[in-house]
A and B are shown apart, each in its own frame.
Chain A
Amino acid sequence: MQWIKLAHLTLFELWQNRTFKTLLTVALLTPLLAVGLSSLFLYDIGKVYVDVVAAMAQLLAVVFFIFLVVTLLSRDIFDRIVYVFLTPPMSRRDYYIGRFLGIVAVFVLLLLVLLLSSVLGAWLYLDGLSDMYQSGYKWNYLGQLVFFNFFQYISILGFIFFVVSWSSGNAETMLFTLAMLIFSWIFPPVLAALQSPDVMKDTPEFVVYFLQWIYDVIPHLRGADITLSIAHGGSIGYQDTFLYVAEHILYSVIFFALGLAVFKRRDL
């Protein structure tokens, strides 16, 4: 159970990082930004408020994983800080699990700060407005946003652990992680568009099946559709929620397990 100790240390390490403190400050100030932007609109104030929080949740997560997590793991392996950790009885498996769970804990902390500050901001700002201006805002929208955002980036975290296990440096790890993020943002909507009835009617049947198959198999790491749906009052059923969570946990576990298998065999 050495990984628990490393997870605990990782929590401290990221907590004391200046970039993380900046992200926490931004999370705390997000309601102010949301209030400022939503007050520019006559109606739909509630929708804009939730939209701004959703955008900030994405932004904070991207900065957290690209600049903090990738840098932390790259420094560990390529600046050889890992030598300090890989002293018996700490195994490579313990190191990987400990780091992963420590990062997850810090990410949860960041999202909780964002959630609490946003809920508080909404309570102070939107509660005093009439239903017309609130445009259907409900307090649980923000909770759902943070929940879906969390699972989306858990898959990305698994992917980062996979890349770090074989990459040769910080730049390479960052490049592949960014490529994965961009791929997951761009590719699924393009494939979805290709399957629209208008496009499909002129497409050969085997191509349609092929596109459908790719669409089903590739990671749907983009949470923008869901957050947009929530912000606009769309309800997400239990089955969809379960599938979304299961998909992201599965991708995270697969990438993590592959990464660990490679990491156990690599020269450090």
Chain B
Amino acid sequence: MKVQSVCKSYKTNQVIDQLSLDFTDGEAHGLLGANGAGKSTLIKILMGLVFPDEGIVESLEDIVLLPESPYVPLNLTAYQMLKYACSVQNTTQVETLLKDVRLKEESWHKPMRSYSKGMKQRISIALSLAGNPKYLILDEPMSGLDAMGRAHMLKLFTKIKKQGTTILMCSHAVTDLVRLCDTVHIMAKGKVTESIVIKEHSMKEAEVLENRLQFWSSEHAMD
């Protein structure tokens, strides 16, 4: 997964500015930045949902996105939607996935319009895991989840990483990034300003990340 000299602007607003990044296979990478830093746009460019104005993006066959908000068709049941996703990916692990994300069995066959935000997030995670993708992009994967749900999903993502999936996680929760990722890239004003290697996955490293984020988010940092 690689981008080279990518630029993207919406009218006069330059969102991504000459960005180059190489994501090592089999590792978990984090994207950290203030609102408007260009994280979501970079993710959409990697997924082919947004086209860059300039630059090269290595298009991937086996890549899946877990979007920022749980976007699901509300009239379908979780089981129907997951069955569809599994059929597209040529797998049959519907029930295993629903159990993996701990979606209560009594809600499997209910329309998703009756789901809470957390339940929708769980089904979104299950959808993104259908077919065991080689590359997994997570955009704020913990939003809407309670503390127990967050801990469980972190364990699940760690397990997937150990199975060889390359993960790119975008989050404002620094502790989640430190727990899962091997490298965290800090973004500001459409550029990757710093890449920090996470060795111990400790709270101390989370504090360092927060300090660096504050520095790069300050107005004069880019000068």
Whether A5 pairs with B84 at a CB distance below 8 angstroms is: yes
Please report A residues at the B interface, Cβ cutoff 8 Å.
2, 5-6, 8-9, 12-14, 16-17, 75, 79-81, 83-84, 86-90, 265, 267-268
Contacting pair A268 B49 (CB below 8 A): yes
Partner pick for B67 among A2, A8, A83, A267, CB 8 A cutoff: A83
For this complex, 15 residue pairs linking A to B, each with C-beta atoms less than 8 Å apart, are A5-B88, A13-B73, A14-B75, A75-B73, A80-B67, A80-B69, A81-B72, A83-B65, A83-B71, A84-B71, A86-B48, A88-B60, A88-B61, A88-B63, A267-B49
Q: How far is the CB of B189 from chain A (nearest CB, A)?
A: 20
B50 contacts A2, C-beta separation under 8 Å: no
Write the B80-93 contact mask toward A (1 if CB under 8 angstroms, else 0): 11001101100000
Docked complex Cα distance between A13 and B65 (Å):
22
Contact of B76 among A5, A13, A83, A265 (CB under 8 A): A13
Q: Which of A9, A75, A87 contacts B80 (CB 8 A)?
A: A9
Interface size bracket, B side? 20 to 34
- Taking a contact as CB atoms under 8 Å apart, the answer to whether A87 and B76 are in contact is no
Query: In the complex the two chains form, is B50's CB within 8 Å of A16's CB?
Result: no
Binding site for A on B (CB under 8 A): 44, 47-51, 60-65, 67, 69, 71-73, 75-76, 80-81, 84-85, 87-88, 111, 124, 127
Taking CB atoms, residues of chain B closer than 8 Å to A6 are 84
Partner of B71, one of A16, A80, A267: A80
Minimum CB distance partner of B70 in chain A: A84
Rounded to whole Å, the gap between the CB of B165 and the closest CB of chain A is: 14
Task: Name, among A2, A5, A16, the residue most crowded by chain B CB atoms within 10 Å (CB to CB).
Answer: A16
**Complex contacts, B51 vs chain A, CB 8 Å:** 265, 267
Whole-angstrom distance between the alpha carbons of A5 and B85 in the complex? 9
Q: Which residues of B contact A16 (CB under 8 A)?
A: 75-76, 111
A81 to B69, CA, bound (A): 10
Given A16-B76, A83-B47, 9 more contacts at CB 8 Å? Answer: A13-B73, A80-B67, A81-B71, A83-B65, A83-B71, A84-B71, A84-B124, A84-B127, A267-B44
B-chain residues with CB within 8 Å of residue A17 when the two chains form the complex: 75
List of A residues within 8 angstroms of B44 by Cβ:
267-268
Please, how many angstroms separate the alpha-carbon atoms of A255 and B51 in the complex?
Answer: 24
Alpha-carbon gap, A12 to B51, bound state (A):
32
Closest residue on chain A to residue B84 by CB atoms: A9
Q: State how many angstroms separate the Cβ of A267 from the closest Cβ of chain B.
A: 4
Most chain A CB neighbours (cut-off 10 Å) among B49, B50, B51, B124: B49
In the bound complex, CA of A40 to CA of B76 (Å): 44
Alpha-carbon distance A128/B116, docked complex (angstroms): 56
Query: What is the CB-to-nearest-CB distance from A47 to chain B, in angstroms, rounded to a whole number?
Result: 39
Q: Which residues of A contact B72 (CB under 8 A)?
A: 81, 84
- In the assembled complex, the CB of A64 is this many whole angstroms from the nearest CB of chain B, namely 15
Residue of A nearest to B90 (CB): A89
Residues of B close to A268: CB separation below 8 A? 44, 49-50
Q: Which chain A residues lie closer than 8 Å to B65 at the CB level?
A: 83, 87
A87, B60: Cα distance in complex, Å: 11
Q: Which A residues are CB-close (under 8 A) to B61?
A: 88-89
Is B80 touching A12 in the complex (CB atoms < 8 A)?
yes
C-alpha gap A17/B63 in the complex (Å): 31
Assess the A267–B76 pair: CB atoms within 8 A.
no
Closest chain B CB from A110 CB (angstroms): 16
| Contact status of A2 and B88, CB under 8 A, knowing A9-B76, A80-B69 | yes
**Are the CB atoms of B64 and A87 closer together than 8 Å?**
yes
- Asked whether, in the complex, the Cβ of A81 is within 8 Å of the Cβ of B50, the reply is no
In the assembly, what is the distance between CA of A26 and CA of B85, in Å?
33
Find the A residue at minimum CB distance from B123: A84
Q: Tell me which of A6, A12, A81, A87 has the highest count of chain B C-beta atoms within 10 A of its own C-beta.
A: A87
Q: Are A79 and B80 in contact (CB under 8 A)?
A: no
- Report chain B residues within 8 Å CB of A75: 73
Residues on A with C-beta less than 8 A from B85 are: 84, 87
A263-B8 Cα distance, complex, nearest whole Å: 19
